Amino acid sequence: MTSILASRSHSHDAPTPQYRPYRFTYCFNGTEWSVDIPALSLSEAKERVKVLGFARYEGEVSANHGRAERTERRTGAWFRKAMRSA
């Protein structure tokens, strides 16, 4: 099972709504897989599934942290900081 655990909110002032996980199952190469989508309702979860085709790759998920390791971004941030301090 694959779970979506992270979210990024652009508004830090608004209260956090209570999301519930909705499980969707699909077959790939003869194996059944599931993904949990956090949403406020089933209809919202279905809308979120529709836009997954527009998702962007951010890195491989680390078993230690349970989130994507963003090495490309970290390297870029380190380089920018190094250039500013030079």
Give me the residues paired with residue 24 across strands: 35
Per cent of the chain over pLDDT 70 is 56
Q: Which two tokens stand for residue 57?
A: 């790759």
Q: How far apart are CA 19 and CA 22, in angstroms?
A: 9
Question: Nearest CA to 47 among 24, 28, 68, 26?
Answer: 24
pTM, entire model: 0.57
What value, to the nearest 5°, has the Cα angle with vertex 31 and ends 30 and 37? 130
| Predicted confidence (pLDDT) per residue in 13-30, tens digit | 666 789 999 999 999 999
- pLDDT higher for 22 or 5? 22
